[in-house]
Structure 1
Amino acid sequence: MRWLFVGLTIAALVLIGLNGWLIRSRFSSVHQPALSAAQPPFLTATPALVQAGQSVHLHLDHFRAFAQVYFSYDVGEALAPVGMAPVVQLGAQGSADVTVTIGRDWSPGDHTIQAEDIATHYTASTTIQVVAGGPLRPPVLQVSRSSLDLGTGVQGLNSIAPLWLSNGGDGSLSWTASTDQPWLLTTPAQGVLSERQAILIAGSRANLRPGVYRGTVTLSSDSGTSLHILVTMRVVAASASDTERQAPPLTAIPAALAFSLTDGGPAPPAQFVTLTNPGQAAMTWSSRIVVPPEGRQQAPLAVGADWLQLKPAQGKLAAGESLSVEITAQGRHLLPGLYLAVIQLNSSYAAASTTTQVLAASLTVLPSCRLSPSAQSLTFTIGPGQEIGESQQLLELGLAPGCASGLNWQAFTSASWLKVDPTSGRVDPTHGMSVRVSIAVNELNAGTYSGFILFSMQQRTQTVAVLLNLRTSGVPQSATSGSTTTAVADTPGRTPLGAVLSPGSLSFTVEQGGGPPASRSVLLSATQHPLQWSVTLNTVATPWLNVTPLSGMLAVGQTTRLSVAVNPAGLAPGGYSGQFTVSLEPADGAPASPSQLAQVVTVTLTVLAPCVLEVTPSGLSFTSSLLQPNPPPQTLSLHIDGGCPRPVAWAAAVDSDSTSWLHVSQTSGSDSGSGTTIAVYVTPPRLLLKTLRGQITITASDGGQNPLQSSPQVVTVTVSPG
């Protein structure tokens, strides 16, 4: 038996080694050089062009030794390699080879796959393209219900209910939420989803009289759809007998909070909730934070609510006393995604039973900013000895949606025959830049070579795959995969044109009233035949769209740049779609299929409503007496309405003559759409003989650093002797 066990063990080790050799030799016919040890972590996918149900080989390298890496795709969707969980433990070399299966639910088009070191948050990403026979469905925002009942509660008591959002189409969509009533709040108030996501709806009964209240939550998306959810809430007065048995609820304003931070970045600014004891006796209170079921279902990993803290977390309030509680979110240990929590505030006094007040909170951990290249992979098919100047392509670099500031990058290549110029630069939100990708073939033998360009940014890398088909003879050709191309299989009497139009679609986003965004480029290349081309544009249907030049001639190997610009002047907020057609004619008279003679580029324009700063109330009045020289703090509510780039940065400043007695809980911060509460304190002289008057000036600017409409806002503060 002992020898049998030894023999089986040796056989198992041999099989494991054979399996690893098979993985490494899976693409042995392709020359695949590796990066040097000094270069940053990276992720590659082979093949990059797949169909649903197909397997993809992922290779990670240059990560930390024994790092735990989390795999995901698109907008934070977990991706489990075959036979593994989404979290994979790497070995001593900081590398791994895994296989993932592309599910039938993966929509046609580009999908980004990420591998993130859980400890350091270093993220490597690559993009694959899923091809399918059917058309790509546009993203459509859907909700789990069209009406919501927050139930019945006594005055001052908050209510919370979940609402599920989903995407009924392909790709991903951005959404924003707004309400038409001050007592109705959502958290978060904006986001991005590819499949489904839960948010929390909160209703505050503070300062409301008994009765039935109705409000509407409006959900808007960049897909052009808006949904309306009718919310009903009932308020009742507590009876005298109820008050004797149970403490009145601790009033907590606001009823919902939303935090956001960038993956691995610093904590967001603290927010404040004002607690008030509405009873006639002293009250003790304590807090507890729980994760709702919806939060556990959508969090990337199993986490608790330790990201949320209250200061103080418990205490005692005299009758009528108010307290400002600081609430902070620490998400440096969290992965990108949406995290939900419910704060339970338990209060009691004397012999009365405990009453529980609730607050809704969310934390959105945003992916770090990344580049958005015009093509996710490049293919070159050229003859040996071809000059570098004739074997090159332009790659346009922009920023992915959600990037609020510019991004510095550096480029590496995995092969000596692959060149990038320039090798570093900076891309700003308002305009992109071009890099030239070229091939040096003088010292290469005929064959197929694979490589990639590695773009390195702060705490992030992403790869663009490059495939080189080197022929012993023939006409130099080049083509770009992932683009609109006319290279199709030969048919009798029909010659492939080999024209490449890249990219096949463009999208622009602009705020209403703002200037036109920077123009984008579409590249047209002639790789097999000289081409005469022209652009057809319906200026009546899409007067906001412009393309230049409109016609021209290309020799074999030449590339021209079409400049695509949009003018949002006079357009109402919403989504607009247009297209232009590029007609092609072989200048050498070569026959071609009719389907090759026209290529269509789709252009979408999203016009966002301008943001308006709203500050309530416009004035605060305090009374100071000998018995209470420092009256309880009061609150200001900041609300940002509109669709401008988020988060919105705001600042609050006290006039120089009032800084000795007028104070605010925070002087600056950011708002992602859920609103901000600022506590205002006054510390007048103990013997106040005359009324003090001061001002708080609040300014705000959007993610593009443009001042908001109605900014600044001035709040007048007075303190009168009592």
Structure 2
Amino acid sequence: MAHTRITPTTDKTLSLPRRSLLLALGLALIGGLVAPMNALALQLSPSSLNFSATQGGGAPSSQTLTFWKNSQASRSWTTTARVPWLSASPSSGSLTTERDQVHVMVNPAGLAPGAYSSSLIITTTGADGTIRKTAVPVSLTVTSGSSGGFTITPPSLSYTGTVNGPNQVAGVVVTNTGSSPLTVTWHDNIGWLIATSGDTVTMPPGGSATISHTASPSLWGVGTFTGVATITGGGVTKHVPVTMTVTKGSTTPSIGLSPASLAYSGTVGGANPAPQVINVSNSGGGTLTWTATDNAAWLTVTPATGTNSGTLTASVNLSGLAAGTYHAAVTISGSGVTAKTVPVTLTVSAAAAPAIGLNPTSLSFSGTVGGANPAAKSIGISNAGGGTLTWTASDNAAWLTLSPTSGTNSGTVSASVNLSGLAAGTYNAAVTISATGAAAKTVPVTLTVNAPTTSPSIGFSPTSLTFSATAGGSNPAGKSFIITNPGGGTLTWSISDNAAWLSVTPTSGTTTTETDTLTASVNLSGLAVGTYNGTITITAAGASNSPRTIPVTLTVSAATAGGTATLSWNANGESDLGGYKIYRATASGAYGAPIATLSKTTTSYVVTGLQAGTTYFFVITAYDSAGHESVFSNEVSKSIF
């Protein structure tokens, strides 16, 4: 960076530009650099950085390094740290303004206590490509953290007890006074001292933990017993004196009771409250023989007697009790001891009133004029209060029916809708649930009846028909198919076909919401062996999908050598007859699957392909439109010669 040189003179005053003067003064005040200014790569403040940290602690705060350029020409700069624990942010920049700043940081992680030094190198590149480097000294001092200091409260332990008396528990609180986590361990060789909690505890800086032990005076005679325990951790060991004083104790029994009182609560007509226990102990010496009594009919105590320690069960019976507060006492007495009592309080509350709970809180139905009734919906009823809920259900619409109409506590009411006679529109009603002693509730019911769809549509099943026969044989059985109207209004249909060997009956009809059954028949007369295709066409005026077609396939096979048997039977006169099934066997009664299924208009059938020298047995069954099949007919047979 070039600077204006000042030459001493006595005959004239030299005026510096204000910015140059300010820069020079600023550098003289804060820089502390004695080298010629035009020999430096940068002007820096401060000239060095010092950090301190604690081993195992966090990183110290970053420090700011400021540097100025030496001329108006901009220059780029980068920073380089010579050691891993040193870094700077940002690591590069361009001195387009008067000065720049970087934040210098150190990370003491993993460093042992000691003094560390290095430098941060700032490399600048001038407009003319000149490269200069400036080193900023950086020092880091890492000190040891305090990790072994702790205090003990109380500094000693003292136990007192009696021969054959209960165990005694006491403990000390250990507090970590250091700045790092600390683990300490209790050590002792005192035979009458047993660890209650763990002997090793870990505490964060400033944290505390309790180490407890149990003394057993019942195992020792009268006297004073001493010992010394140690607590070690963090390189520090501290001693804890421990004393146990055992006395003879009293030889006179005394009654000890726990708890000091009992309290019960219940509801009129409700379940009895759970039993409670009274612990009886001999808090004196010798032998305590005790007796337990109570002074209330609603209170029962068992057992009635015991020796030394024992447990009493106190039970309460609410039967016949009105609402109110009742008082009684359990008395424990014994020979040569002062009796003691346990007060007993029973609070009986009035029974809560029943309340009606409903789910859901509203119902909605929808249907179509002249259509099927919508599915029924349920209303769940529950007792949201107390006592017993006896309810009835009613409605205010002729088209709405409820079942059941009464019940107790929880139940389900089924709501059904009847569309008969209803015109298109929206209908509103309500289901009312009433109960003695409870506020009635209603469930709004909405029924939307839509106008019927006026456009009919052609539906049919199955979507194709297949026949097979033998040349010169009998015609195959006819096959049925149905026509439906999945649309609205009335479907007036007609049937046609395009094959001389194919016919359909009936050839016309009218369908609303029901189904019509038709029969397709085949005539083999004059047909040679081969496959024939035809089409049944269904047309209907006004139908949205007219016409519809049903493909029909007929396969005529060559006749095979063998005998025949002609079967005939009387027609079944039932109105729901669907057709007949033929069964064949080569042993009487040994029938498997049917060999033919025939239409209800067929009363004879020719069985072909029968082998010579064989006797065949035949039966027939009838089946209805739902697929139900009758028992076998009488059996007939034929021998082929």
Coarse TM-score class (shorter-chain normalised): under 0.3
| Higher Rg | 2
TM-score of the superposition, structure 2-length normalised? 0.24
TM-score of the superposition, structure 1-length normalised? 0.22
Q: Which has the higher contact order (CA 8 A, sep 6+)?
A: 1
